[in-house]
Amino acid sequence: MTGAYAPVPLPDYTEYPVEDMRAQARAFYAQIRRRHTVRDFDDRPVPRDIIETCLMAAGTAPNGANHQPWHFTVIGSPALKQDIRTAAEVEERAFYDGKAGKEWLDALAPLGTDADKSFLERAPWLIAVFGARRSRSADGKLRKNYYVPESVSIAAGFLLCALHQAGLATLTHTPSPMGFLNALCGRPEDEKPYLLIVTGYPAPGATIPAHALEKAAARDRQLSLRVKNRLSHGIVEDDAEREAQAAQHAGDAVAHRNPARAARAGHHAGAHRNHHAATLHHRGASHRLCWRGQVSTRVRCPPEKSAGSDSSTITCSGNTSGP
Ligand SMILES: Cc1cc2nc3c(=O)[nH]c(=O)nc-3n(C[C@H](O)[C@H](O)[C@H](O)COP(=O)(O)O)c2cc1C
């Protein structure tokens, strides 16, 4: 432990009754499942402050050592968007003409994508997402960053959720390769461009590939099958059991205080052994659940984690007043 460590009280955690948690989890799922990658954008303007607020949300993401190793460049300038489209289409023509290889192109076929990237000019906003292996701290010291791809990806995920929540359509675009973004966005060569997020309103009559919906149906099916299996194997017997498991997962020693719970889970040895077995059992169950994204994260937005602070910077290249 170094002298740098300064604990403060958890500033803004809200605990909800379990029924509210359940309702909120369902409500979030209902909302997020309405997110779809859109490739047909309207050219209607979107106020820049909405994009900035979404970037503030992205900037609250968890990240390695809290170095916030990302940089978002927001592009609204028609001239710069045209330059980005031109550069992207050069790469994408080569990609679709065979550079990608048959397997990759076959995988993309159900999405109907090709080298035409007209959305890069039409959508009101592009957000280039960069990751930095090294960046400067608030006091100007150059320091190594940790878990950069993971951190940048999580922040980008927050950004996509925030944009969707605000009512905007998004496209996660990865022209391959996309090194041209460094020069066009004025970012240093040692920053890696990860994504180009296109956002705005969907064009009237916009379509999406049917293929993109397949996972939702499959996921729902798998989810209900898993739950049924777990019910029939007595792993999760009822709501109370699920709540007990959730509480234990959150660090609460429910099983320790309630050996009957362990016994109900099918273990018939002494209380201590039962607890141990139930804990393992629970771990097994939670491990199996992980694949579909069981989350036990608390949502916190520490005030010091603004998207404009430290290395978590935003630049608005080109048209700084926005459309
Ligand atoms: C890392 C990443 C790169 C992607 N690159 C592209 C891309 O370059 N062009 C594109 O049209 N879609 C791209 N997508 C979007 C995916 O095709 C899309 O997310 C997928 O088909 C599922 O559809 P959905 O987002 O509507 O659920 C990308 C998505 C991710 C996560």
What distance separates the 2 farthest-apart alpha carbons in the chain?
A: 73
The residue whose CA has the least distance to atom 29 of ligand 1 is 172
Mean pLDDT (whole number) for 51-75: 98
Of ligand 1's listed atoms, the one at least distance from the Cα of 113 is: 11
- From residue 249, alpha-carbon distances to 4, 11, 61, 224 in Å are 30, 22, 22, 21
pLDDT by residue (tens digit) across 241-281?
444 444 444 433 333 333 333 333 333 333 333 322 222 22
Residue limits of CATH 3.40.109.10 in the chain: 37-208+298-317
> What local confidence, expressed as pLDDT, does residue 7 receive?
98
In terms of DSSP bridges, do strands 313-317 and 191-200 run parallel, antiparallel, or are they unpaired? Answer: unpaired
Name the residue of 33, 173, 196 whose CB sits within 8 Å of the most ligand 1 atoms, as the mutation to test its pocket: 173
Q: Residues near ligand 1 with C-beta < 6 Å?
A: 36-37, 39, 111, 113, 171-174, 208, 212
pLDDT by residue (tens digit) across 64-101?
999 999 999 999 999 999 999 999 999 999 999 999 99
The residue whose CA has the least distance to atom 10 of ligand 1 is 173
> What local confidence, expressed as pLDDT, does residue 3 receive?
72
> What local confidence, expressed as pLDDT, does residue 267 receive?
33
Residue 181 exposure: Cα atoms within 13 Å on the Cβ side: 28
The residue whose CA has the least distance to atom 25 of ligand 1 is 37
Q: Which CATH number fits domain 37-208+298-317: 3.30.300.30, 3.10.20.600, 3.40.1360.10, 3.40.109.10?
A: 3.40.109.10
If you measure from the C-alpha of residue 172 to the centroid of ligand 1, how many angstroms do you get, rounded to a whole number? 5
pLDDT by residue (tens digit) across 170-179?
999 999 999 9
If you measure from the C-alpha of residue 72 to the centroid of ligand 1, how many angstroms do you get, rounded to a whole number? 19
> What local confidence, expressed as pLDDT, does residue 258 receive?
35
Of ligand 1's listed atoms, the one at least distance from the Cα of 39 is: 11
Of ligand 1's listed atoms, the one at least distance from the Cα of 216 is: 27
Q: What is the DSSP string of 8-46?
A: ----S-----HHHHHHHHHHHHHHHTT--B---B-----
